[in-house]
Amino acid sequence: MDNHHIDHDREDRIGFQEVVYGESKSVEDLSHILEDFISNGKNVLVTKLQKNKATVFLKKYENAMYDEPSGIFILKPLKELIKKDEVAIISAGTSDIHVSNEVFYTLKYMGVNATKVNDVGVAGIHRLMDKLEILRSFKILIVIAGFEGALPTVIGGLLSQPIIAVPTDIGYGVARGGHVALNAMLSSCANGISVVNINNGYGAAMSAIRILNLINK
Amino acid sequence: MDNHHIDHDREDRIGFQEVVYGESKSVEDLSHILEDFISNGKNVLVTKLQKNKATVFLKKYENAMYDEPSGIFILKPLKELIKKDEVAIISAGTSDIHVSNEVFYTLKYMGVNATKVNDVGVAGIHRLMDKLEILRSFKILIVIAGFEGALPTVIGGLLSQPIIAVPTDIGYGVARGGHVALNAMLSSCANGISVVNINNGYGAAMSAIRILNLINK
Amino acid sequence: MDNHHIDHDREDRIGFQEVVYGESKSVEDLSHILEDFISNGKNVLVTKLQKNKATVFLKKYENAMYDEPSGIFILKPLKELIKKDEVAIISAGTSDIHVSNEVFYTLKYMGVNATKVNDVGVAGIHRLMDKLEILRSFKILIVIAGFEGALPTVIGGLLSQPIIAVPTDIGYGVARGGHVALNAMLSSCANGISVVNINNGYGAAMSAIRILNLINK
Amino acid sequence: MDNHHIDHDREDRIGFQEVVYGESKSVEDLSHILEDFISNGKNVLVTKLQKNKATVFLKKYENAMYDEPSGIFILKPLKELIKKDEVAIISAGTSDIHVSNEVFYTLKYMGVNATKVNDVGVAGIHRLMDKLEILRSFKILIVIAGFEGALPTVIGGLLSQPIIAVPTDIGYGVARGGHVALNAMLSSCANGISVVNINNGYGAAMSAIRILNLINK
Amino acid sequence: MDNHHIDHDREDRIGFQEVVYGESKSVEDLSHILEDFISNGKNVLVTKLQKNKATVFLKKYENAMYDEPSGIFILKPLKELIKKDEVAIISAGTSDIHVSNEVFYTLKYMGVNATKVNDVGVAGIHRLMDKLEILRSFKILIVIAGFEGALPTVIGGLLSQPIIAVPTDIGYGVARGGHVALNAMLSSCANGISVVNINNGYGAAMSAIRILNLINK
Amino acid sequence: MDNHHIDHDREDRIGFQEVVYGESKSVEDLSHILEDFISNGKNVLVTKLQKNKATVFLKKYENAMYDEPSGIFILKPLKELIKKDEVAIISAGTSDIHVSNEVFYTLKYMGVNATKVNDVGVAGIHRLMDKLEILRSFKILIVIAGFEGALPTVIGGLLSQPIIAVPTDIGYGVARGGHVALNAMLSSCANGISVVNINNGYGAAMSAIRILNLINK
Amino acid sequence: MDNHHIDHDREDRIGFQEVVYGESKSVEDLSHILEDFISNGKNVLVTKLQKNKATVFLKKYENAMYDEPSGIFILKPLKELIKKDEVAIISAGTSDIHVSNEVFYTLKYMGVNATKVNDVGVAGIHRLMDKLEILRSFKILIVIAGFEGALPTVIGGLLSQPIIAVPTDIGYGVARGGHVALNAMLSSCANGISVVNINNGYGAAMSAIRILNLINK
Amino acid sequence: MDNHHIDHDREDRIGFQEVVYGESKSVEDLSHILEDFISNGKNVLVTKLQKNKATVFLKKYENAMYDEPSGIFILKPLKELIKKDEVAIISAGTSDIHVSNEVFYTLKYMGVNATKVNDVGVAGIHRLMDKLEILRSFKILIVIAGFEGALPTVIGGLLSQPIIAVPTDIGYGVARGGHVALNAMLSSCANGISVVNINNGYGAAMSAIRILNLINK
């Protein structure tokens, strides 16, 4: 009754294929979907997959990879990347690793190698200043922050590349859930920062891919 | 006591100069700021300037332009643009003109000519389908919508360019103020759409400029 | 002290009998209620019943059925339906199965056979276009969506039947809990879409029953 | 630059033509839109039009009608209706007249005569009880309420027709803006009530039209 | 370091003694508090005590009583009540038992016997009508409801006694947590209904006690 | 089309007659309503009537009274009150006069004389302490506060009468609109305080009337 | 009936006298209050007084001063200050002048001279860096910001003095009203920043006074 | 890939070193961070560390201390404090111990001894009055409250020291999560109270340290 009809033409249409949102699907439904991709000879990216469900599929598909902090699951091994680094994934530290890894592995799945730049939080701004030259060398900056979400604003006043801001759900009290970081990024007085949903590392990566496709065309 | 020190080095630093947010400043404070720009031989863009305040400055500076729906004020005449169209400003109709004009004039101030594509709302999707080929010819799509904010999602499933979504405050009941459109855009199940604040046409334009600078480098 | 007095006249009064909301009742209280229905010779529909509580009743009443994703529990076997399909249950995929099943089984309990139409999400609009003729053959369309909730808007611009929109709680970040989908449906720029509470598949089904009763009178 | 391309095929496609949302459009933009309808030989319904803007058009188009409480503007005189009453518009009193009139005139524009049933608020429930037989004679009930929004719930427990609930923005304190009435209607423990946006009398009328089209087919 | 100094004079001051909020206190802290009451020769009422913590104290104090749905814990046996019924606790059914029991046992602890009147929900209003005469015999009506919270409004239009409305957290979607019921009660168009916090059965009972003290003085 | 049918039996039914909410009704509609009351030989209380509308009726009905801060309008002169003071209306100062007057005049209309006790704000608690004996002499305490709404909590810990708390919309920043005061009153750690809607002086007075009716029966 | 009893002992009690919140009081009520202060030989500070009301009092009291952006009104001339600068009032520019002036004049009224440091917004962080040495010379930093409210966080990571953060209502879209700035300041990942209500320049100044009293004791 | 670079210069820069937010970091990431501090010869404070993660580190580092209610973890033993008490930590009782302990241990880690003053809730204000002289002897008052958060307001009207208010998440219904207490503190009509995030005992302690550093310089 519930056959999943994958949008296999999407890649032809807009350059990237359908991805599977894992969080709210049962193991049974995911199994049908994965088999459908396999029978079409395709690789597949599953996002926000919980560990207990991933364990089932890691046993079944021995080449698959799974990143626990982000919940990213990739069915087949990825090819060696030869492209040079074009994207920096900037965050204040390890608390946001569930999001920075989602960006990292989504980009990798799309064939883009990225570099993580950590420990550049706004509460210790000199560390950010020390890395300005390195940051200037990337084409796109994906900036991740929870709590008060000020990091994209500070970077936006210092650097001129496209900046994709990703709020995370890290924080407590008024910051719980990430809405403060999201709203602070949307309200930024720095110029031309664009924003994705809370914890949407996948979306930030795809937004970068849209830009890179434009450059590399 | 309240001297305004304009950030005249910003252009050297990140490629675009400081802009003036007009909505919450008094005529007196704005006068000082405009004179400071003039004395530095610069043009200036003022955003969200109310009509009663604009009238004062239009009398004083005869070459200035003012767009009433958006509240954009530009001090000096802009040079003729020779760049070809690279940005499409897409919206459902004239209700969102205060935002589409803010995008249009900000881009023009930055030296970029843009094309408006109206009347492509999701409630009559065949009109959007008819324009897909035209839309495919632009490098960047800025998609504006109020109410339920579904337009960027539909376009995101059909086209592969960078998409910057701008929610507007048009709507009533739960949609009043634009939060529904904003949240719908952030929650979009289409891939890689990035979003700016409600009515932030200026920010969308600057986000496009960051991408265009990257391409045209 | 807490005797439950079932509204056994409701069926005479408004054409459908009382239903039991299972989520917040204890096993003990539910047992009394079920026995009361049984002693009145009636069947009963329990909604949103958690699995651990359903297990108790499945052991006790061997003819009962239980659908785990939706939590629908029906005490007695339903008669074979001879009515033709009049309702389509439209959704983007398996993530919303907890709601589409609640619609499906409630309709079935009320004697109405429905057809599920899946994988017609707005991010791949051509798949929806391919199914327009099929959708046109139904009397009532129940459209289910989480995340940005754009599907009813798109369908509302293409089809003329009564449309009942059901937001679901599927999504993360700003979409968590389903409020974005709900508000987007309420704000739809498409004409004449009516909406029920988040995850309220039962209510959507009953709303359809009210319309079908009117037609079939 | 801003030509409005009206969706003149919509009537063929889904049985009713495009309507104009008047609140956020300028007189200039509305003028272009009205002329476009006129040049296509069509009548047009404008919703939520402010009085100062309506005055301009009432002078220009002498056959036009305008209802001030609701802001409904109709360009050409409507034909005499011969259809019998099929819709009841139920509300507690004159505070909600801006919404009940929007329902009434939209239905009239669509060729449907409706009857208003006022003064049936929940705080004096015997008056509602007195009118139950009258209410039973209508095919569809549109129930309007502000404040705590309880009226659709009470009616839903007493009558079996399709019920479309319309929350209004009437109320103060926590009720200001209509969100309490909206949420109470969505949360109703009565069966099968569907809901539209706050003050969306137009949407409720169109939802009724979708059902009536189905019956009268 | 954390000695608890109980407000043992409160009874003299305002007629009722300090009560212990159990939900957020540890077993260790509660133990000290209970012993302090015991050493002062007093009984004590603990509210919203979780089952795992209650179990510890039920073992230790063999005369104590504990009501699991409400989490009410009372240290010593209550005296036989000879007062006649003065308070009715009205609710729609067993879903709100966690709150109706909190009202019931708090009143009992304060020496007041109350009567529960269930199954009088607004979706089946005739059952409420049948009980009007019984309800008229009570001095105070405590009306409990979750979901859309309409019951106090309907009762307020029919009866003239003091009405204390208690919203509960029962409901899903927009109703989850009880804010809709609370706001609907606050917005009631019925006259002179007063409201307490969501699930605050204890507060409703104490509000009744303040009134009864006034009458019985 | 919009005849207003006043609930003239309400007084027999629940002891107090229908009152008119003036804020959202037009002068025309209010005129019909007032005439209806007059033709039935009744007095009438209109709440929250704006000054511009009141002026019309003060000209027409020369015996009418109108209190501008609260917007209370009473058609006919009230009889001399002989009842002794039973209700204290307590507030921190003149900022809340719009609400304290609504309580005062509603009580007066109902035949109850009340005493205002001002300048007892929590920021200067010794002034409250000085008035405790006076406050103890009243049967019912209506406590009004905006901003952080702490006054009912402090009074609730000191006095044992029924306390009806009324939040007001006075405050700025997070306190704007009165939601903080409302929520603080609902969350009060003092016992047995009941609450009405923001600015609902009318409701607080009617709640007191329900209690007084009980006492004086 | 509404005599205002000023808390004239407050100064003895806690070191600073009562202040008058002007926004929600009528001219008549304010007149009584001012005369009460005058008859007690005291000066008085009125906050958030609207211009039309201030004009009345400026005519009546010729020595009074009024600052229009902040709405601060001071009845008598202030003595010449001899204290050296101890407080810096830091903000990004003239948009927040309504708040920075409220801080400035409240401090002046309390006998403290402060220095405004403007144009140090986070979007141009080098200008802030240039002023670090100057900022280090103040005892207390009051940091004012609207929009995303990031300035206190950046300053908090660079300087070690007490920092009082004041969010302002400047911003649009999600930032309208100042809640984003407030929440970002509360969520700051910088250490030991304390926050006052939106636009509460008065409160920030008084918080500084409490600290200065401690130092200068 | 994820090396943590601790900001070891922060102590030189602003007088206190980096602290580790434990709640959202994995055991593995925390292990790297702790070892980094150890290899730099430093002690470290971890906040909001869950018990299951603390257990791992308590086994590994035998001199470490862990406070379960607050989740404070300190790697090395603290030196004996010789400073006299300068800070009072005031709260209503043991429900807020998770926050009062976070304040206490953070201050201790910073070398400041503090005194807890419990059981001074606003519902029994005489107990607070009894302790006024003791409270007057402290330099700084940190006032902690959940529910309606009125305690700082009452204390602010009685005492003149710096007051840092800390809302807690203790409460239910509208108070759940601590937003009511937070907003009530921000809206306080008492003078000069500054506020930190919900449950942010750490931030309150650091705010006190900034003031103490100023005094003791």
Nearest by CB to G180, from A124, A154, A184: name it.
A184
Same structural domain for residues C43 and C135?
Answer: no
Residues in chain C with CB shorter than 8 Å from the CB of B92 are 189
B41: its two tokens: 């031989």
- Rounded CA-CA distance B102/B86 in Å is 17
Residue D81 placed within a domain: no
- Residue D5: the pLDDT is 58
Per-residue pLDDT of chain G (217 residues; tens, 9 = 90+): 344 556 666 666 666 777 999 999 999 999 999 999 999 999 999 999 999 999 999 999 999 999 999 999 999 998 776 666 799 999 988 899 999 999 999 999 999 999 999 878 888 888 899 999 999 999 999 999 999 999 999 999 999 999 999 999 999 999 999 999 999 999 999 999 999 999 999 999 999 999 999 988 6
Chain B CB within 8 Å of residue C18 CB: no
Same structural domain for residues E140 and E181?
Answer: yes
What is the identity of the amino acid at D151? L
- Residue F3: the pLDDT is 43
Residues in chain D with CB shorter than 8 Å from the CB of B144 are none
Number of alpha helices (DSSP H) and beta strands (DSSP E) in chain H? 9, 9
Same structural domain for residues E206 and E102?
Answer: yes
- Residue D1: the pLDDT is 35
Number of compact structural domains in chain B: 2
This prediction has a pTM of: 0.95
Q: Give the full edge-to-edge strand order of the sheet including B140-145.
A: A114-117, A87-91, A140-145, A163-167, A193-195, B193-195, B163-167, B140-145, B87-91, B114-117
Task: Please tell me which residue of chain G has the smallest CA distance to F173.
Answer: G198
Chain E CB within 8 Å of residue C98 CB: no
- Residue B5: the pLDDT is 58
Residue C4 placed within a domain: no
With a cut of 60, say whether residue A68 has pLDDT above it: yes
Q: Which of D20, D24, D169 is best to mutate for the B interface (most B CBs within 10 A)?
A: D24
Residues 118-147 of A with CB under 8 A from B: 139-140
- Residue C13: the pLDDT is 65
Residue D187 placed within a domain: yes
Q: Which long-range contacts (CB under 8 A, 24 or more apart) does A76-85 make?
A: A76/A43, A78/A43, A78/A108, A78/A109, A78/A111, A79/A111, A81/A108, A81/A111, A81/A112, A81/A113, A83/A111, A83/A112, A83/A113, A84/A113, A85/A113, A85/A114, A85/A115, A85/A138
Q: Give the full edge-to-edge strand order of the sheet including B45-47.
A: B20-21, B45-47, B72-74, B65-67
**Cα atoms in the Cβ-side hemisphere of radius 13 Å centred on A148:** 30
Residue E18 placed within a domain: yes
Strand ranges for chain C from DSSP E: 20-21, 45-47, 65-67, 72-74, 87-91, 114-117, 140-145, 163-167, 193-195
Task: Please tell me which residue of chain A has the smallest CA distance to B162.
Answer: A210
Same structural domain for residues B69 and B97?
Answer: no
Residues in chain E with CB shorter than 8 Å from the CB of D191 are 123
Strands B140-145 and E20-21: unpaired
- Residue A3: the pLDDT is 43
- Residue F14: the pLDDT is 67
Per-residue pLDDT of chain E (217 residues; tens, 9 = 90+): 334 556 666 666 666 777 999 999 999 999 999 999 999 999 999 999 999 999 999 999 999 999 999 999 999 998 776 666 799 999 988 899 999 999 999 999 999 999 999 878 888 888 899 999 999 999 999 999 999 999 999 999 999 999 999 999 999 999 999 999 999 999 999 999 999 999 999 999 999 999 999 988 6
Does the model's ipTM exceed the 0.85 cut?
yes
In chain G, the N- to C-terminal Cα span, in Å, equals: 42
Inter-chain CB proximity D191 and C19 less than 8 Å: yes
Closest Cα partner for H19 from H7, H9, H27, H31? H7
Chain H CB within 8 Å of residue G181 CB: no
Average pLDDT score over chain C? 91
With a cut of 50, say whether residue D12 has pLDDT above it: yes
**Cα atoms in the Cβ-side hemisphere of radius 13 Å centred on H141:** 32
Residues in chain C with CB shorter than 8 Å from the CB of A31 are none
At D2, the pLDDT band (50, 70, 90 cuts) reads very low
DSSP string for residues in C63-127: T-EEETTTTEEESSPPPPP-SPP-EEEEESSGGGHHHHHHHHHHHHHTT--EEEE----GGGHHH
Nearest by CB to D207, from C194, C200, C203: name it.
C194
Question: Are the C-beta atoms of G209 and H192 separated by less than 8 Å?
Answer: yes
Distance from CA of A140 to the nearest CA of B (A): 9
- Rounded CA-CA distance E182/C217 in Å is 39
User: Last residue of some domain: H21, H51, H74?
Assistant: H74
Inter-chain CB proximity B162 and A210 less than 8 Å: yes
Same structural domain for residues E163 and E117?
Answer: yes
Within 10 Å of residue D59's Cβ, how many Cβ atoms? 9
Chain G CB within 8 Å of residue H88 CB: no
Per-residue pLDDT of chain F (217 residues; tens, 9 = 90+): 334 556 666 666 666 777 999 999 999 999 999 999 999 999 999 999 999 999 999 999 999 999 999 999 999 998 776 666 799 999 988 899 999 999 999 999 999 999 999 878 887 788 899 999 999 999 999 999 999 999 999 999 999 999 999 999 999 999 999 999 999 999 999 999 999 999 999 999 999 999 999 988 6
- Residue D3: the pLDDT is 43
Residue A82 placed within a domain: no
Same structural domain for residues A102 and A148?
Answer: yes
Strands E114-117 and E163-167: unpaired
Nearest by CB to G25, from F95, F123, F173: name it.
F95
Residues in chain G with CB shorter than 8 Å from the CB of F173 are 167, 169, 178, 182, 197-200
Task: Please tell me which residue of chain E has the smallest CA distance to F204.
Answer: E192
Q: Which of G174, G176, G179, G180 is best to mutate for the B interface (most B CBs within 10 A)?
A: G174
Closest Cα partner for C193 from F209, D16, D125? D16
**Cα atoms in the Cβ-side hemisphere of radius 13 Å centred on H91:** 30
For chain H, which ranges sit under pLDDT 70? 1-15, 81-84, 217
At C125, the pLDDT band (50, 70, 90 cuts) reads confident
Chain B CB within 8 Å of residue G179 CB: no
- Residue F125: the pLDDT is 85
- Residue F6: the pLDDT is 63
Chain E CB within 8 Å of residue C79 CB: no
Q: Which residues contact A172 (CB under 8 A, 6 or more apart)?
A: H23, H48, H197, H198, H199, H200
Phi and psi angles of residue F73, each rounded to the nearest 5 degrees, phi first: -125, 130
Chain A CB within 8 Å of residue B61 CB: no
Q: Which of A110, A210, A217 is best to mutate for the B interface (most B CBs within 10 A)?
A: A210
- Residue E3: the pLDDT is 43
Same structural domain for residues A63 and A141?
Answer: no
- Rounded CA-CA distance E172/E111 in Å is 36
Strands F140-145 and F87-91: parallel
Q: Which residues contact B143 (CB under 8 A, 6 or more apart)?
A: B90, B91, B151, B152, B155, B163, B164, B165, B166
With a cut of 90, say whether residue B18 has pLDDT above it: no
Report the CATH number that the domain containing residue B172 is assigned in CATH.
3.40.50.1970
Same structural domain for residues D50 and D108?
Answer: no
- Rounded CA-CA distance A10/A16 in Å is 6
Same structural domain for residues C70 and C91?
Answer: no
Same structural domain for residues B114 and B192?
Answer: yes
Within 10 Å of residue F6's Cβ, how many Cβ atoms? 20
- Residue D73: the pLDDT is 98
Residue F160 placed within a domain: yes
Distance from CA of A25 to the nearest CA of G (A): 32
Question: Are the C-beta atoms of B90 and B120 separated by less than 8 Å?
Answer: yes
At C85, the pLDDT band (50, 70, 90 cuts) reads confident
Same structural domain for residues E25 and E126?
Answer: no
Same structural domain for residues G177 and G99?
Answer: yes
Inter-chain CB proximity H162 and G214 less than 8 Å: yes
Inter-chain CB proximity D13 and B126 less than 8 Å: yes
At A136, the pLDDT band (50, 70, 90 cuts) reads very high
Least confident of C161-170, D48-57, D111-120: D111-120
- Residue G2: the pLDDT is 40
G153: its two tokens: 């966080």
User: Last residue of some domain: F29, F49, F74?
Assistant: F74
B199: its two tokens: 């009515």
Report angle CA H200, H202, H208 to the nearest 5 degrees.
Answer: 110
D206: its two tokens: 């169109």
Residue E79 placed within a domain: no
Residue C62 placed within a domain: yes
Distance from CA of A22 to the nearest CA of C (A): 9
Q: Is F71 buried (19+), middle (13-18) or exposed (0-12) by CB count in 10 A?
A: buried
Task: Please tell me which residue of chain H has the smallest CA distance to F172.
Answer: H187
Which residues form the domain of H201?
87-215
